[in-house]
Amino acid sequence: MAHGLRLVAACLVGFVAPAAGPLPLLDPPPGKTFLAVLPHHDDHTHEYGFGGLIARLIDEGYRGYYVRVTNDEKDGSAGWGENDLVNERETQEAVRALGIEEVISLNWRNDHMDSIPHHDLRAQLILLLRRYRPDVVLSYDPWGHYDRNPDHRKVSRALADALALSGFANVHPEHLAAGWKLHRVPFVFYAQRFDYGKGHEPNVAVALTEKQVARKARAYWLHRNVRVHPESARALRAALDARGLRVPELEGLSDEEATIRIQEWRMYWISARHGRENGVPFAEVFYFVGEWDHLPGLKDYLRENVRPK
Amino acid sequence: MRGLCFSLLAAAVALAAAPRAAAQKTLLVITADQTDYVLAAGGAVAAMMAQGATGYLIRVTNDEKDSWDLAPEETARRARMESEEAARILGFREVISLGYRAGELGGVSPTELRDRLMFYIRLHRPEVLFIPNPYAHYVEVLDRFYAGQAAEEARRAAALENFQPPFAIAGLKPHLVPELYYYAQPVDPRRREPEGPATFVPQPKVVDITPMIERKLRAAKALRTANYSLAMRIRQRLEETGRRLPLLETVNEAAVEKLVEINVRKLGEIGAQGTRFKYAEEFHYAGPEYRIPKSYRD
């Protein structure tokens, strides 16, 4: 395993920004429901976030929902319709590995998000926030820089707008007429790739157990359509053979099994790296927005003076 | 494009060489909503107007969403009256309400908004412009981001004759605003980090507002509908989670005003951190020398 970790680490040097120092360790905030609002089928588990946090939230009693905004038709080599079907099915399987029970697919066209009205998507998200009343929302950082994926930008900005407005009665009053109540989400975790400039800079670390990392690793490779390509392990082994090298942990495995093992190492390696940087065995890091952070002049006062009933 | 840059540079050099006294200055403040500029820049703009500057305020949206148990139309009506009262307290000569629906700027043409703001820049020809900082991260109200982007573009376009030729035909000649302040409430954890050299990147600037804190506070208190909305929203969140805030056991005028005072004073203290001031506001500032290389200035 250690050798494999080093191998993957070597592949990923330069992919992850250098650490700035230990971050405060954050326990999951109090609550019972979270919504992960992300553009794509596989955004819930990456090097840069969410899979471990989702597993931990579930372990601490949360119920989770995955809002998959696009239809993922471009992701994979099977053609638009087939990609849509396969990616949707694999999403169900992958998020169940983390403990999420329900996937809500909004089915906007993948990589055509810039052409849809911001307000249409925002209205859907406001309705979902009022329907599910999450205590925690997870998404891409709307203030991140250099994210070339337009779906990431579009969804995170529409979500940020929805988070700001879902608590106001004069925003989509028709929702209230149908029986939904206003809801302001108190806690938000944002993530983004670490090699995308300085826009996203994590402010908390969330410690993970090895079992949670294992679920995260499984959720990662369960997106077989885009992440399990046996030819990558075959090419790696051929390149090592040519240099007289071998990875003992991969011997006896089929190319598909070897690919899965390598993908798992990626998740273990990045989780261990964030753990090491923050004083725990495994961790993920996020930009966390707390309950009163939108009120910089009042948050200290509220923290000091709010009492139990 | 090089010619365009040179035109801007030449105008900027000319303006830098002939600064006007504060008493003669014209000040234009652009705000997305009624509360943002009061809380983030109210003290600084009040100080300039107290020294004799003539101030104009552009409210981009109608604030129709920010109320508790009021319809959008009534909210917008009250917000207009109250924002005009707040602006009067701070010393503005005029409030210009563009009337866009609050929360909906993301659906407004950026070019349309830019051109409307540019119109007023050319009409009033300010020496100082305050705009929402579109680069401030984690600002919750995205209207501020959209208004800030449009305002920044408007400042540039106002100086260039090939933007909106009908404006010039109607007598609104190009005008370069020499001083630009970007404002935002302090939610961005890296707001004081300089992002680059001063020649081309607006720099963090702290302005002492201690003499103006009471005036800023009175202006903030005048926004009664938004303040009540904030208090009720805090109380609602606490009630939903089995908590209470003694100050808001009864949400009356005195309790709301106390909440506003705590907010305004704390924001002033945050702005003053690391300075010798008691209360201050933080900006990113691009002055008359902005975009003029040192060799040209010398």
What is the per-residue DSSP string for B21-61?
PGGG-EEEEEESSTTHHHHHHHHHHHHHHHTT-EEEEEEEE
Q: Decide which of B220 and A146 is more confident.
A: B220
Chain B: give the shortest CA distance to residue A252, in Å: 50
For residue A10, pLDDT over 90 is answered with no
* Percentage above 70 pLDDT, chain A: 93
Would an 8 Å CB–CB cutoff place B270 in contact with chain A? yes
| B69/A169 Cβ within 8 A | yes
Contacts of A296 in chain B (CB under 8 A): 185-187, 266-267, 270
Minimum mean pLDDT range among A97-101, A165-169, A199-203, B245-249: A199-203
The span from the CA of B200 to the CA of B185, in Å, is 23
User: What are A142-199's pLDDT values in tens digits?
Assistant: 999 888 888 998 999 999 999 999 999 999 999 999 999 999 999 999 999 877 777 8
Chain B: give the shortest CA distance to residue A67, in Å: 21
- Mean pLDDT, range B171-190, rounded to an integer: 95
| B233/A184 Cβ within 8 A | yes
User: What are A49-64's pLDDT values in tens digits?
Assistant: 899 999 999 999 999 9
Ordered by where they begin, the domains of chain B are: 2-209+281-297 (3.40.50.10320)
For residue A278, pLDDT over 80 is answered with yes
Contacts of B134 in chain A (CB under 8 A): none
Is residue B285 within 8 Å of B205, Cβ to Cβ?
A: yes
Other CB atoms within a 10 A radius of the CB of residue A165 amount to 26
Contacts of A202 in chain B (CB under 8 A): none
Interface of B with A in 34-53 (CB under 8 A): 39
pLDDT at residue A5 in the model: 40
pLDDT at residue A114 in the model: 78
The span from the CA of A278 to the CA of A19, in Å, is 9
For residue A299, pLDDT over 90 is answered with yes
User: What are B125-170's pLDDT values in tens digits?
Assistant: 999 999 999 999 999 999 999 999 999 999 999 999 999 999 999 9
Dump the DSSP string for A171-195. SSHHHHHTT-------EEEEE--TT
| A295/B190 Cβ within 8 A | no
pLDDT at residue A9 in the model: 39
Contacts of A169 in chain B (CB under 8 A): 67-69
pTM: 0.90
User: What are B29-46's pLDDT values in tens digits?
Assistant: 999 999 999 999 999 999
pLDDT at residue B7 in the model: 52
| B242/A308 Cβ within 8 A | yes
Largest Cα–Cα distance in chain A? 71
Q: What are phi and psi of B185, to 5 degrees?
A: -70, 150
| A294/B140 Cβ within 8 A | yes
For residue A226, pLDDT over 50 is answered with yes
Q: Which residue has the tokens 């009933």?
A: A309
Would an 8 Å CB–CB cutoff place A73 in contact with chain B? no
pLDDT at residue A236 in the model: 92
For residue B294, pLDDT over 90 is answered with no
pLDDT at residue A162 in the model: 97
Nearest CA-CA partner of B237 in A129, A302, A160 = A302
Nearest CA-CA partner of B163 in B176, B145, B148 = B176
Per domain, the residue ranges of chain A are: 31-213+284-292
Minimum mean pLDDT range among A9-18, A247-256, A293-302: A9-18
| DSSP-based three-state secondary structure for B225 | helix
What's the mean pLDDT when you consider all of chain B? Answer: 91
- Mean pLDDT, range A277-284, rounded to an integer: 97
Would an 8 Å CB–CB cutoff place A302 in contact with chain B? yes
ipTM, interface predicted TM-score of the complex: 0.89
Q: Which of B72, B244, B263 sits opposite A309 (nearest CB)?
A: B244
pLDDT at residue A199 in the model: 84
Q: Which residue has the tokens 């909906």?
A: B104
| B65/A119 Cβ within 8 A | no
For residue B4, pLDDT over 60 is answered with no
What's the mean pLDDT when you consider all of chain A? Answer: 90
* Percentage above 90 pLDDT, chain B: 83
For residue B11, pLDDT over 60 is answered with no
| A306/B266 Cβ within 8 A | no
- Mean pLDDT, range A81-90, rounded to an integer: 91
| B65/A165 Cβ within 8 A | yes
The span from the CA of B58 to the CA of B98, in Å, is 7
Interface of B with A in 229-268 (CB under 8 A): 230, 233-234, 236-238, 241-247, 259, 262-267
For residue A252, pLDDT over 70 is answered with yes
Q: Which helix (H) or strand (E) holds B282?
A: strand B280-286
Would an 8 Å CB–CB cutoff place A199 in contact with chain B? yes
pLDDT at residue B241 in the model: 95
Interface of B with A in 96-155 (CB under 8 A): 103-104, 106-107, 137-138, 140-142
Q: Decide which of B1 and B213 is more confident.
A: B213
The span from the CA of B205 to the CA of A28, in Å, is 37
C-alpha distances in Å from residue B197, one per residue of B5, B194, B200, B202: 19, 8, 6, 8
- List the CATH code of the domain at A31-213+284-292: 3.40.50.10320
